[in-house]
């Protein structure tokens, strides 16, 4: 569904991505691992058109999306959950979720809300609460739920478990795996190897703006050199 080939991107004169290659298909969770500052978040931003690609290819369903504006990429069926969450603090849970549907499409269908509430029952109990009153974990659930309201085919999630309590991390892990089991393609940026081992079908490791490893969880578990050089402190 998503293919990235030799992707390059820069901030002004600073080259951030040099050679990123990965793929993500329907029904699987792919984790993008690596230390802070290696270009993981920039990779997702490039897919969404928030960071222009300077080289390489980004293909979605075999068609190039490089150079398209973010709204056009979203309409093709890609949902994006930024690391900052960016919920609307003064809008209710219900209103935040409704914002996930493009303007002009009217009230989102009931089934879209039901899907989100089935994944995150906590949100179903707080539909009239303002976003700012939610805990950090609940705000992360809301951010993911909002991205799902447009019924994407591919979901990009940036650092979903950062700074959250273990019980919330477990709930998010279950949700991401359930989404993949429903046929969604899920690409997750993660810093924690333990999380990736629990949820990923395949893992891509990045270092200094390029991909240095692709494989399954078992492949990575068997490759002590990669873990030691690129993941361990």
pLDDT in tens, 139-176: 999 999 999 999 999 999 999 999 899 999 999 999 99
Count the Cβ atoms, other than its own, within 10 Å of residue 132. Answer: 11
SS (H, E, C) 138-157: HHHHHHHHHHHCCCCCEEEE
What was the pLDDT predicted at 105?
A: 52
Q: Starting from the edge strand earliest in sequence, which strands make up the sheet with 29-33, in order?
A: 63-64, 53-60, 2-11, 14-24, 210-216, 202-207, 29-33, 185-189, 154-158, 78-81
Q: Give the pLDDT mean for 50-61.
A: 94
β-pair type (29-33, 202-207):
parallel
Phi, psi of 12 (to 5 degrees): 50, -115
What was the pLDDT predicted at 111?
A: 87
Instruction: Please work out, in degrees rounded to the nearest 5, the angle formed at the alpha carbon of residue 105 by the alpha carbons of 104 and 108.
Output: 135
What was the pLDDT predicted at 103?
A: 57
Beta partners for residue 189, in sequence order: 32, 158
User: What percentage of residues in the chain have a pLDDT greater than 90?
Assistant: 86
What was the pLDDT predicted at 232?
A: 80
Element holding 119 (H helix, E strand): helix 110-119
Domain ranges of the chain: 2-230
Phi-psi region of 163 (alpha: psi -120 to 50; beta: other; left: phi over 0): left
The residue among 4, 55, 50 whose CA lies nearest residue 25 is: 4
The length of the chain is 233
For 185-199, write each residue's pLDDT tens digit.
Answer: 999 999 899 999 999
Q: Give the pLDDT mean for 58-70.
A: 95
What was the pLDDT predicted at 106?
A: 57
What was the pLDDT predicted at 13?
A: 80
For 194-229, write each residue's pLDDT tens digit.
Answer: 999 999 999 999 999 999 999 999 999 999 999 999
For 67-111, write each residue's pLDDT tens digit.
Answer: 999 999 999 999 999 999 999 999 999 999 998 876 555 566 788
β-pair type (63-64, 53-60):
antiparallel
What was the pLDDT predicted at 102?
A: 60
The 10 Å CB-count burial string (b at 16+, else e) for 184-221 is bbbbbbbbebebbbbbbbbbbbbbebbbebeeebeebe
Q: CATH homologous superfamily of domain 2-230?
A: P-loop containing nucleotide triphosphate hydrolases (3.40.50.300)
The 10 Å CB-count burial string (b at 16+, else e) for 44-72 is bbbbbbebebeebebebeeeebbebeeee
User: How many angstroms separate the CA atoms of 42 and 189, rounded?
Assistant: 10
- What does the block give as tokens for 65? 């999306």
What was the pLDDT predicted at 168?
A: 93
């Amino acid at each position: 569904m998503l293919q990235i080939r030799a992707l390059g991107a820069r901030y002004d004169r600073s080259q951030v991505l040099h050679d990123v290659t990965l793929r993500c298909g329907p029904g699987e969770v792919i984790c993008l691992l690596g230390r802070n500052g290696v270009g993981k978040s920039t990779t997702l931003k490039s897919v969404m058109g928030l960071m222009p690609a300077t080289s390489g290819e980004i293909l979605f369903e075999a068609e190039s999306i490089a150079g398209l504006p973010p709204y056009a990429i979203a309409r093709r069926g890609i949902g994006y959950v930024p690391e900052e969450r960016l919920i609307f603090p003064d809008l209710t849970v219900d209103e935040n979720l409704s914002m996930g549907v493009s303007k002009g499409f009217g009230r989102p269908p009931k089934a879209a809300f039901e899907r989100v509430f089935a994944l995150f029952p906590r949100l179903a109990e707080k539909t009239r609460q303002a976003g700012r009153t939610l805990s950090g974990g609940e705000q992360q659930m809301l951010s993911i739920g909002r991205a799902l309201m447009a019924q994407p085919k591919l979901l990009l999630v940036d650092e979903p478990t950062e700074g959250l309590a273990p019980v919330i991390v477990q709930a998010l892990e279950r949700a991401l795996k359930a989404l993949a089991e429903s046929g969604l393609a899920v690409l997750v940026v993660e810093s924690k190897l333990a999380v990736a081992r629990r949820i990923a079908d395949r893992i891509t490791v990045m270092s200094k703006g390029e991909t240095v490893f692709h494989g399954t969880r078992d492949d990575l578990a068997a490759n002590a050199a990669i873990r030691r050089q690129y993941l361990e402190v």
